[in-house]
Amino acid sequence: MSDERVLGVIGGSGLYELEGMTSVERVRVDTPFGEPSDEYVTGRLGDVRLVFLPRHGRGHRVLPHEINFRANIYGMKKLGVDWILSVSAVGSMRPDIRPGDFVIVDQFFDRTRARPSSFFGEGAAGHVQLADPVCPVLAENVHGAAVAAMEAVGTGAKVHKGGTYIVIDGPQFSTRAESRIYRSWGVDVIGMTNMPEAKLAREAEICYSTVALSTDYDCWHETEEDVSVEAVLAVIRRNVEAARELIRRLAPTISSPRTCGCASAARHALMTAHESISAETRTRLGFILGKYL
């Protein structure tokens, strides 16, 4: 097993334009689950290898419910990624999480429908533990890097440690009634992309953490403008450099071997007798279960 540290980043296509990154190349990955969102961009930052993927494809062509999450995570695993930082634009459900703030999410509430959310199936039944869907070790490092990044770029925005991200299908933003009900449930931010991404990362035994970039107040706030594409894009553009700085500061902090439980999350997941699994399904799941079968 290689001791190389490989950090994956899923988010906007501009994130990988990092000063000091070398050996940059685009890599296409074929998967048993179809095509990923785009080619992966790989490079080196010091002694850490970085793997970037634009979640919506270059030019933002793919709607949230159209994202092939299984292919995206499979490609990360195939390229040797052990840690994934998800960078996601979200709406704030709390008055103290202002547009421009970062939230280091630690919980998810999945309200999506009919998105393929597991690598298991087709004759192989498996279940992984997901009570805490974010890697605590990686999230702690992400929080420290985010605080340092905000101070470095001087935006004046805050970093909030912990929070629940409710994931909806979209592509429409919430109705006012939905937004008010979601707030009554105690969620902190709302978005369309981190489920089933986090579930699949856990099945693939990849450490996963989200930095949620607050862009608006959805449509619940009585004195702020309702969410619009124009407003979202304006805040994202302002936060791109802070997100890049976060990645620069995060990369040196990841350490190998991993000390969390993510690296063995699928060890006892498989419920089906090994001899009952077809050769085709064994091949499809080999990237997860190969060391256990």
**Which entry of 38, 101, 106, 216 is annotated as an active-site residue?**
216
**3-state helix vs strand vs coil in the chain, percent to 5:** 30, 25, 45
Q: Based on the residue annotation, tell me whether 3 is a catalytic residue of this protein.
A: no
Beta strands in 55-93 (DSSP E): 83-92
Q: State whether the Cα torsion 112-106-148-215 is positive or negative.
A: positive
CA dist 283 and 290 (Å) reads: 9
Please give the radius of gyration of the chain, using alpha carbons only, rounded to the nearest integer.
Answer: 19
Q: Which residues of 93-105 are buried (b: 16+ CB within 10 A; e: fewer)?
A: bbeebbbbbbbbb
**Which entry of 38, 106, 188, 218 is annotated as an active-site residue?**
218
Can you count the helices (H) and strands (E) in the chain? 6, 11
CA dist 180 and 148 (Å) reads: 34
Q: Based on the residue annotation, tell me whether 110 is a catalytic residue of this protein.
A: no
Q: State whether the Cα torsion 197-99-237-170 is positive or negative.
A: positive
On whether the CB atoms of residues 242 and 235 are closer than 8 A, the answer is: no
State whether residue 27 is helix, strand or coil.
Answer: strand
State whether residue 50 is helix, strand or coil.
Answer: strand
Residues with catalytic roles: 216, 218
